[in-house]
């Protein structure tokens, strides 16, 4: 039994495997290519303080406890995940980069550059951080300023006194735009679609409805789509301030780039020193390509966490479970189903 990825989803799965009687070594193993514990959280920019992250849910069986909300989320979560792995003696091997998963009849072969694990079932929990999505716009290669993706962002300091164009209507784009605007000489915010503001308290009902929408998409074999595309953008106090100050004055997508500017189809031009592509992430599933799982709709057809085309494979932290709470639940659901599946094999 192999779990690929030791973020929230992978650790939740490992915890439940442990509880249902899988043993380290011969029973199951967790492979993770991070340098240290923490899943994608270890890479989040230092200015993302714990108090600014959306609700981070405790891993099953052990609470994060009291933590300084002014400390970077990357440090706090990394330490917490490390404690968690030690407390439950979870068999995490790192760094192990899984390059491919092949179907060898009775077993799935999980391969790194140096090792192969033959698994009766695989729980894939590889998240999205490793696949930042950069759309292409003409002239991108000619632009002389700095271009970076959310995944490369480290500090607002490098934007002090500069004009920054932020591309993208997701939660990260908005959060980074508001921070950059405090030091930049000017900012321009562009998004493909008009932003949809979520003007109601984020309640469990709103959350459930959003998850149900993404679930319907993956059951139909469509790509999951981003969470914000179904929830809308929360009108937090910071966001309301940004709207009032005109920082969140959204412009439509530009048409192309020149050496020093972005240009809209009507010829309007905006000088830019830097462009931040806050254009999201895709599921990091390249290593599953040998299994040929893509449905005609471009996604992987799912039934809960189970891949419809191969009941030995579960995707957790994917689609409807791509949140810290969703990842927790998906880990448990996947283990329950796999246990049943393996028991059925006798
Ligand atoms: P990850 O945390 O990404 O873990 C995946 C693990 O798999 C990593 O450790 C990685 O090293 C490993 N891995 C990947 N590929 C391989 C491979 N080929 N071989 C071996 N190992 C591999 N959710 C919230 O609930 N609250 C928030 O505030 C929040 N903020 C977010 C901000 C950003 C910028 C992003 C991108 C997402 C955010 N989310 C948030 C979503 C949330 O981070 C994830 O859905 C959640 O943490 C689930 O984690 P995961 O285990 O699925 O993935």
d(CA 58, CA 265): 47
Closest atom, ligand 1, to C-alpha of 54:
28
Looking at residue 345, its pLDDT comes to 80
Q: Are 16 and 27 in contact (CB under 8 A)?
A: no
Q: Are 1 and 119 in contact (CB under 8 A)?
A: yes
Mean pLDDT by 10 residues, the chain (346 residues): 97 96 79 96 87 83 88 94 97 97 96 96 97 96 97 94 96 93 98 86 77 92 78 86 96 98 98 97 96 95 97 96 92 95 82
* Ligand 1: residue whose CA is nearest its atom 53: 127
DSSP state of 247: T
What would the DSSP string read from start to end of 18-83? HHTT--BTTTBEEE--SSSSSGGGGGS-TT-BGGGSSPPPPBTTB---S--TTSBHHHHHHHHHHH
Closest atom, ligand 1, to C-alpha of 53:
28
Find tokens 């735009």 and name the residue: 177
| Residue 235 Cα to ligand 1 middle (Å) | 24
Looking at residue 50, its pLDDT comes to 86
| Residue 266 Cα to ligand 1 middle (Å) | 39
Q: Where are the alpha helices (DSSP H) in 254-322?
A: none
Residue 345's region, left for phi above 0, alpha for psi from -120 to 50, else beta, is alpha
What would the DSSP string read from start to end of 187-230? EEEEESS---EE-S---HHHHHHHHHHHHHHHHTT-----HHHH
Start-to-end CA distance of the chain, whole Å, equals: 15
Residue among 82, 34, 98, 101 nearest 288 (CA): 101
CA angle 326, 286, 341 (to 5 degrees): 55
d(CA 200, CA 231): 11
Q: Are 31 and 117 in contact (CB under 8 A)?
A: yes
Does the beta carbon of 320 lie inside 6 Å of ligand 1?
no
| Residue 33 Cα to ligand 1 middle (Å) | 12
Closest atom, ligand 1, to C-alpha of 99:
18
């Amino acid at each position: 039994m192999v779990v690929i990825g030791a973020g929230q989803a992978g650790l939740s799965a490992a915890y439940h495997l442990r509880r249902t009687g899988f043993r380290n070594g011969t029973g199951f193993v967790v492979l993770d290519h991070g340098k240290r514990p923490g899943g994608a959280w270890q890479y989040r920019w230092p200015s993302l303080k714990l108090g600014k992250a959306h609700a981070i849910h405790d891993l099953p069986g052990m609470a994060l406890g009291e933590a300084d909300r002014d400390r970077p989320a990357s440090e706090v979560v990394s330490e917490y995940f490390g404690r968690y792995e030690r407390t439950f003696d979870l068999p995490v091997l790192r760094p192990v980069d899984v390059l491919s998963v092949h179907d060898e009849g009775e077993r799935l072969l999980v391969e790194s550059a140096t090792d192969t694990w033959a698994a009766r079932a695989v729980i894939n929990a590889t998240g999205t951080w490793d696949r930042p999505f950069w759309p292409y716009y003409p002239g991108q290669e000619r632009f002389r300023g700095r271009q970076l993706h959310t995944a490369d962002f480290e500090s607002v300091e490098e934007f002090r006194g500069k004009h920054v164009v932020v591309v993208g209507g997701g939660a990260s784009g908005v959060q980074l735009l508001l921070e950059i605007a405090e030091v930049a000489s000017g900012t321009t915010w562009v998004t493909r679609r008009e932003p949809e503001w979520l003007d109601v308290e984020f309640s469990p009902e709103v959350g459930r409805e959003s998850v149900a929408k993404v679930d319907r998409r993956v059951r139909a074999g469509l790509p999951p789509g981003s969470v914000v595309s179904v929830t809308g953008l929360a009108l937090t106090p910071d966001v309301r301030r940004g709207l009032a100050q005109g920082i969140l004055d959204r412009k439509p997508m530009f048409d192309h780039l020149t050496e020093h500017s972005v240009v809209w189809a009507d010829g309007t031009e905006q000088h830019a020193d830097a462009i931040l592509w806050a254009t999201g992430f895709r599921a990091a599933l390249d290593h599953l390509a040998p299994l040929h799982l893509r449905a005609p709709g471009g996604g992987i057809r799912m039934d809960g966490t189970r891949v419809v085309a191969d009941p030995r494979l579960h995707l957790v932290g994917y689609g409807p479970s791509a949140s810290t709470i969703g990842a927790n639940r998906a880990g448990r659901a996947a283990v329950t189903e796999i246990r049943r599946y393996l028991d059925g094999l006798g």
